[in-house]
């Protein structure tokens, strides 16, 4: 019943999208927070971020709808009502809708916009070799396992890395950013569809391997390489 009603609402939304006037009407009648469901506020994201994670606040199960002028890859994490979205290098706007079934009743659609901006030079920033570490995960979204998604979606891991002055990045294996950052050769050397690369601030690769199986192993590796 929930799925049938959801698809009906999605179809109605898609009918509204073709014209600018209709899209404006949709914008005015939806928000990031509705009764029983809340999405993060609109965000501006740099085009080299790789991925962004959005989490819905609700008591019920969530279904997602992602709309963009360019093809977008994403993976949903049902157990914590979140979604990981690939950031297009060309920029643009991604509109994310969500709906939830709370206490047997369907909520209104909540909506948030992601505005993608160019980041200029994508090479590693200049700085001393003993500066902060750059921790990069390179994965194939089409081959993401629940265990891997849990690590990549871990807010505690992301906070652990960035709160210590290091950098967290997540890219798809087919992202052109890899060539710009000269990581394509590293990916080819390591092989596989889930790779973790740790670099110094000057771009030197300290370690490159398959993504460890647990969050604790990731943290131990960062610490062993001099992470702050």
pLDDT tens per residue, range 32-51: 899 999 999 999 888 888 88
Does residue 57 have a pLDDT over 60?
Answer: yes
- List alpha helices for 108-204, DSSP H: 146-152, 155-163, 177-180, 184-190
Domain 134-224 is in which class?
alpha beta
Confidence of residue 30 (pLDDT cuts 50, 70, 90): low
Residue 36: predicted pLDDT: 93
Do residues 96 and 31 make contact, with C-beta atoms less than 8 angstroms apart?
no
Residue 207: predicted pLDDT: 92
Does residue 5 have a pLDDT over 50?
Answer: no
Which structure tokens are listed for 162? 């960035």
More confident residue, 227 or 148: 148
Q: Can you tell me the mean pLDDT for 213-220? A: 91
Beta strand extents in the chain (DSSP E only): 33-34, 37-38, 43-46, 51-55, 61-68, 74-77, 82-86, 92-102, 105-106, 110-117, 134-139, 167-172, 194-199, 205-210
Which structure tokens are listed for 187? 């990916």
The residues of the chain that CATH labels 3.40.30.10 are 134-224
Residue 139: predicted pLDDT: 93
Which residues partner with 62 through β-bridges?
100
Domain 2-117 is in which class?
mainly beta
The residues of the chain that CATH labels 2.60.40.10 are 2-117
Q: Can you tell me the mean pLDDT for 119-136? A: 61
Separation CA 38–CA 111 (nearest Å): 9
DSSP character for 60? S
Residue 4: predicted pLDDT: 47
More confident residue, 62 or 227: 62
Q: Return the percentage of the chain with pLDDT > 90, whole number.
A: 38
């Amino acid at each position: 019943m929930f799925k049938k009603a959801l698809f009906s609402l999605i179809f109605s939304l898609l009918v509204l999208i073709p014209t600018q006037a209709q899209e404006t009407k949709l914008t005015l009648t939806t928000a990031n927070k509705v009764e029983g469901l809340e999405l993060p506020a609109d965000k501006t994201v740099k085009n080299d971020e790789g991925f962004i994670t959005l989490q819905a606040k609700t008591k019920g199960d969530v279904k997602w709808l992602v709309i963009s002028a360019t093809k977008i890859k994403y993976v949903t994490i049902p157990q914590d009502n979140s979604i990981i979205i690939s950031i297009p290098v060309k920029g643009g706007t991604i509109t994310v809708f969500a709906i939830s079934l709370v206490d047997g009743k369907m909520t209104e659609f909540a909506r948030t916009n992601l505005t993608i901006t160019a980041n200029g030079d994508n090479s590693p920033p200049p700085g001393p070799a003993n500066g902060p570490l750059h921790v990069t995960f390179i994965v194939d979204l089409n081959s993401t396992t629940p265990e891997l998604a849990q690590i990549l979606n871990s807010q505690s891991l992301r906070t652990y890395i960035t709160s210590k002055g290091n950098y967290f990045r997540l890219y798809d294996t087919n992202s052109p950013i890899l060539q710009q950052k000269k990581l394509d050769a590293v990916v080819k050397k390591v092989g596989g569809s889930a790779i973790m690369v740790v670099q110094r601030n000057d771009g030197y690769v300290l370690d490159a391997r398959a993504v460890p199986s647990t969050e604790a192993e990731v943290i131990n590796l960062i610490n062993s390489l001099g992470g702050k």
